[in-house]
Chains A and B, each alone.
Chain A
Amino acid sequence: DAKTTQPTSMDCAEGRAANLPCNHSTISGNEYVYWYRQIHSQGPQYIIHGLKNNETNEMASLIITEDRKSSTLILPHATLRDTAVYYCIVKLDAGNMLTFGGGTRLMVKP
């Protein structure tokens, strides 16, 4: 599976959009981009995933560049409860394993 690079930490003001970047320059054509988050001491929680097209659900939007070498997770109106570590994971369609890197620690501030 392709390796990902994320900033170690980011801050965001409450109510503003949080934009979390992820680089995956070695991604191959059949690999998906997944995002999970882990709120302090809890198990990770699935957020969203995509292959080529931009995706949106009730939690977030995922923007994938045309060359698929990077993506951005967008939380449109961040709240204090969105403070967490966010993991960008690239995974084969048929693969079993999620490989978690260091993630981005997002701090949402009042």
Chain B
Amino acid sequence: NAGVTQTPKFQVLKTGQSMTLQCAQDMNHNSMYWYRQDPGMGLRLIYYSASEGTTDKGEVPNGYNVSRLNKREFSLRLESAAPSQTSVYFCASTILAGGSYNEQFFGPGTRLTVL
């Protein structure tokens, strides 16, 4: 099992450009998440998808859109990138949101720089 995979690993954008970050998991998990991590800070939740067909805003959703393409894939789109979106983006998944056992498995991250 590859676990949670993310593409690309690195990306440099100019202000105003758009791009989509891809995430896929092969663990048959129902719930998927997108976080961002700024230098020296903890992770902040952008959006999550509790199950296929549903998405919800997290703590910092402004400037982002998401698509739960199918059970395996959850993409994050920046429509018009801004320097404030320079960050490391992590995707995560878990078997089922909620419940007493809710270990989240994280991908390796996408390092995004917006000039």
B104 to chain A: closest CB distance in Å?
6
**Residues in chain B near residue A87, CB distance under 8 A:** 42
Min CB distance B63 to A, Å, is 19
Number of A residues with CB within 8 Å of any CB on chain B: 22
Cβ of A98 within 8 Å of any chain B Cβ, yes or no, is yes
- Per-position contact with A for B99-111: 1 when CB-CB < 8 Å, else 0? 1111111111100
| Contact of B109 with A91 in the complex, beta carbons under 8 Å | no
Main secondary structure of the interface of A (DSSP, over half): loop
Give A96 to B45 CA distance when docked, in angstroms.
Answer: 10
The answer to whether A97 and B100 have CB atoms under 8 Å apart is no
Q: Which residues of B contact A (CB under 8 A)?
A: 4, 31, 33, 35, 41-45, 48, 50, 56, 58-59, 90, 92, 97-109
- Chain A residues with CB under 8 A of B33: 96
- Cβ B42 vs Cβ A96 within 8 A: no
Q: Could you write out 19 A-B pairs with CB less than 8 Å apart?
A: A41-B109, A43-B90, A43-B108, A44-B92, A44-B104, A46-B103, A49-B101, A51-B100, A91-B102, A93-B100, A94-B99, A95-B98, A96-B48, A96-B97, A97-B58, A99-B45, A100-B42, A102-B42, A103-B42
A97 in contact with B42 given A32-B100, A43-B108, A44-B90 (CB within 8 Å): no
Most chain B CB atoms below 10 A, which of A41, A44, A93: A44
Given A43-B90, A44-B90, A98-B99 contact (CB < 8 Å):
no
A31 and B65 CA atoms in complex are apart in Å by 30
Q: Which residues of chain A in 27-56 are interfacial with respect to chain B, using CB atoms and an 8 Å cutoff?
A: 32, 41-46, 49, 51
Known contacts A41-B109, A46-B104: A100-B97 contact under CB 8 Å: no
Asked, given contacts A43-B90, A93-B99, whether A101 binds B58 with beta carbons under 8 Å apart, the answer is no
- The answer to whether B31 and A101 have CB atoms under 8 Å apart is no
